Structure formats: structure tokens, C-alpha cells
Amino acid sequence: MYQILNLAIFALLIALLIKQQRTDSTLSKRVFTGLFLGVLFGASLQWFYGPATSVVIDTLEYVNIVGAGYVSLLKMIVMPLIMVSIIGAIIKVKDSSSLGKISFLTIGILLATTAVSALIGIAVTNAFGLSADGIVEGAREIARGEALQTRLGSIANVSFADMIISFFPSNPFADLAGTRPTSTIAVVIFSAFIGMAGLTVIKTSPEIGASFEKFIHVAQEIVRTLVRMVLSLTPYGVLALMTKVVAGSNYDDILSLLNFVVASYIGLGLILVLHLVLVSFTGVNPFRFFMTILPVLTFAFTSRSSAGTIPLNIETQVKSLGNGDAVANFSASFGATMGQNGCAGLYPAMLAVMIAPTVGINPLDPSFIASLVAIVTVSSFGIAGIGGGATFAAIIVLSTLGMPVALAGLLISIEPLIDMGRTAVNVSGSMTAGTMTSRILGLNQSTDIDNEKQPEVVNNNI
């Protein structure tokens, strides 16, 4: 009976969002409404029934149909969106040489910000005096540590060269199905080759080339319409995802590791400030930039999925930031699989500094800091070649430094809470890289985020 009552309340909240959509409310307002209602409903479930009770677990199982279903729909449109957008952008630009500049600059910015993120992680960990010695090791932590030790064996023989080789699309149809951790990058490369081949056909056989251009244009319109249809469901997905996070959190575990949580979010906040400072150097108003990308960061925060955020990321870069199809697709795709500022930059650096004293290493030693930043930066480029996220980044960094990877399992109880912020920072980094790349190369369209233009009201109603 209680479960039916809870689901009835959840249905009423969805009805409220539907009513808000019919009043011509913007997507941003509906996303934040869904976020607020999700927090309120999730907290209410915890307050009435307590954490991890059978009623809450059973309720969240059905609530998750909406949340997980929405994330699945987003992942469904990732590959078609990337493929037709990159092909269309290359044909439209008619200059394949610019692809190298876009790729080089985007990846360079992602790696550079990851290195700085590692330094921020080192600074906040030392400032808070965090150490692995003070963390209690329970049954779940022991089990997680053993699992990480086992996973280390599966990736120990993977070299950096192997990671680079894995980016190339040996079977594009398998990569379109997302069968590998590097499928996204492989599809980007495959689409770039198709686009360049299309340019050649347009120059050598104008009639056939015109038909190909028309086909790609039709495909783009269909995929964009599909994207708008899926993105219109964002408030409902955020409502369900936030309900699950809040209702399923163990607040006792959070309080016991509060120092690490606070230090992590201070570090993530500093990285966001770094992003705003960087875009300001390219003539972008940092406040307007942040307000423009905030709905995207909100979804990334609630979904904990950089890949699932790609469609919303690209849509916002093209429509609101004026970055262009090619830059938006390259930065969103690369940013979801390499140079992740939160998962591959901040987090591994914090863990390494915490564990260093337990193995007799001075965490303030300049040589240790230099080697840690270098390892974090290089390994962030290869995370996609292994598959996973912050956990795999931590395994690579700790094992390279000769530290026990099992100690990374000590933070399992608060992993979801911190991962939300890390994912939002990852997405912010990719959008920052895209915005800077488009401005530096002069490929952007002027929008209201540019300092030289007066602010306008952006209608992002979907």
C-alpha cells in the first residue's frame, strides 16, 4: 500500500511537470523544477521510511524506470547525432584541414585543464590534512578493495600505445553499437573519414556529390528532431534520477567522511572557476557562460553520465554557445572519454596524496607532485582505452606510483555523492574546451555570451 502511495505521488509530480511544459515554460526552468521536486520527494521518502528500507527500495525500483529509461534514450541518440553532425559539418565547412586544428586544440585544452585539476586536488587534500589512515575499513570497503586489486590484473598489460590503437575503428558497425569503451572516439574518426570522402566526391562528381549533400541534410534534420524529442523529457529524467540519489543515500556514511566530501567539492568548485576564467580570456562573459551551461551541468550531476550528457552538451554548444557543429561534436565526444577534469584529474590526485603517507612518501615533496601530475595527465588520455571512469583512473595512477590500489575502495560509501560533482565538472571541461577552441580558431557565431554583444533572452523552450 505504501509503495502504491509513493508511486501515486511520483505520478502527480510528473503531471505537475507536464502542466508546466504546457504553459510555455523554458527547458531550464523545468529542469530545475524537476531537480527541486526530486530532492524534496527523495528526502521525504528517507524521512518517512528511513534509509534502505524495503518500501524505499521497491519504490525506487519503479521510479528508476523513468530515470534509467531517459538515460538510455540519450545514449540511443549519441552515435547517430555524432555521425551525421560531424559529416555535415565537414561538408559545410568544405575544409578538412581545419579538423586537425580542432582536434589538436580541443585535446590540448582538455589535457592542460586536467593537469591543473590534479594540482588543485593535491592542494585541497593537503590543506584539509586528509589521509587514508583515518578511514574505517568495513566489509563493503574490503570487498571493493579486493575487486579493485583483481581489476588491476586485467589492465596491467595494457600499454599507452595499445590505448591509442584502440581509438581506431576496425569495425565501424560494432562501434556504432557501442561495443567498446572507445567506440565514441572511433565513431568520430570514422565520421571524419566519411566527411572527407564526401568532400572528394563533391569536387570530382558534382551531381553525385549534390545528392550526398541532400541526403546528409535530411539525415541531420531527422536526427535533430529526434534529439529535441528526447531532450524534452529531461525534466522527468532529472526528477527520477534526483529522487533515487537522495532517497538512496546513506547520510551516516556521508557524515563519517564529511571532510573528504567537503574537500572534493571545494576542489570541484575551484575547477569550475578555472573554466570560467579560461573562457573569459577568449572574450566570453563567464557569468552568462555559466548560466547557459547550468542546465547541462544539472543533468550531468543527476545522471552521473558524461556519455549520456553528450546530446544535451552538443545541442547547447551549437544553439546557445555558437560553437558550430564540428567543434561541439569533437569537444563533447573527446571530453566524455579523455581528459576528464573531475574523474581523471582531481580524484586520482586526491587519493594518491591521501595514500602517500601510508607508504612512506611525503605528499609535499616537489618530485612526487611533479610525477603525480604527469602521470595523471597522461593516464587521463588513456582512460577511454580501458573503460570505466574515476575508479579506473585511480587504479592506473596508484599502480603506476607503486601504491596499493585496494585502498581506493575505502571511499565506496560516498562514491555516488562525489561522482555527481565529478561528472558535472567533466562536462563543464568539455564545453569549456569547445568554447575556447571555437573562439581561438574564429569558428564561432556571436551569441549573448560574448562580451562584445549585449545580452539577449535565449529561448531554449523545447
pLDDT in tens, 101-151: 888 899 999 999 999 999 999 999 999 888 876 554 543 444 444 554 555
Rounded to the nearest angstrom, the gap between the alpha carbon of residue 149 and the centroid of all alpha carbons in its chain is 26
Cell triple for 67: 530515470
pLDDT at 461: 39
Residue 311: name the closest of 412, 386, 231, 244 by CA.
231
Instruction: Tell me the pLDDT of the chain averaged across its residues.
Output: 82
- Output the domain CATH number for residue 204: 1.10.3860.10
pLDDT at 140: 46
Which of the four pLDDT bands, split at 50, 70 and 90, describes residue 95? low
Which of the four pLDDT bands, split at 50, 70 and 90, describes residue 360? confident
Distance (Å, rounded) from C-alpha 208 to C-alpha 216? 13
Neighbours of 12 (CB within 10 A): 11
Cell triple for 81: 547525432
pLDDT at 63: 92
Residue 459 lies in a domain: no
DSSP calls for 376-413: HHHHHHHGGGT--SHHHHHHHHHHHTT--GGGGGGGGG
Residue 206 lies in a domain: yes
Residue 454 lies in a domain: no
Cell triple for 392: 579506473
pLDDT tens-digit series, residues 425-439: 999 999 999 999 999
Distance (Å, rounded) from C-alpha 362 to C-alpha 437? 38
Residue burial 327-356, b: 16+ Cβ < 10 Å; e: rest: bbbbbbbbbbbbbbbbbbbbbbbbbbbbbb
pLDDT at 384: 52
Ranges 309-313, 423-427, 456-460, most confident: 423-427
Q: Do 402 and 381 meet the contact criterion of CB atoms below 8 Å apart?
A: no
pLDDT at 78: 82
pLDDT at 374 exceeding the cut of 80: yes
pLDDT at 281 exceeding the cut of 90: yes
Rounded average pLDDT over 76-92: 83
Which of the four pLDDT bands, split at 50, 70 and 90, describes residue 160? low
CA-CA-CA-CA torsion for 244, 77, 339, 411, nearest 10 degrees?
Answer: 20
Ranges 188-197, 299-308, 413-422, most confident: 188-197
Residue 434 lies in a domain: yes
Cell triple for 418: 562525489
Lowest-confidence pick of 133-137, 215-219, 255-259: 133-137
DSSP code, position 346: I
Neighbours of 105 (CB within 10 A): 20
Residue 457 lies in a domain: no
**Helix 54-93 and helix 206-231, axial crossing angle in degrees, nearest 10:** 160
pLDDT at 26 exceeding the cut of 70: yes
Distance (Å, rounded) from C-alpha 444 to C-alpha 453? 13
pLDDT at 82: 83
Residue 451 lies in a domain: no
Using CB atoms within 10 Å of the CB of residue 280, give its burial: 0 to 12 exposed, 13 to 18 middle, 19+ buried.
middle
CB within 8 Å of 134: residues ≥ 6 apart: none
Residue 458 lies in a domain: no
Report the SS3 class of residue 449.
Answer: coil
Distance (Å, rounded) from C-alpha 376 to C-alpha 349? 7
State the amino acid at position 374 in one-letter form: A
Residue 53 lies in a domain: yes
Number of structural domains found in the chain = 1
134-138's contacts with Cβ under 8 Å and 24+ in sequence apart are 135/257, 135/410, 135/411, 136/256, 137/410
Rounded to the nearest angstrom, the gap between the alpha carbon of residue 280 and the centroid of all alpha carbons in its chain is 22
Domain residues for the domain of 412 are 2-440
CB within 8 Å of 346: residues ≥ 6 apart: 117, 118, 120, 121, 264, 267, 268, 271, 422, 425
pLDDT at 184 exceeding the cut of 90: no
pLDDT at 290 exceeding the cut of 90: yes
pLDDT at 156: 52
pLDDT at 150: 54
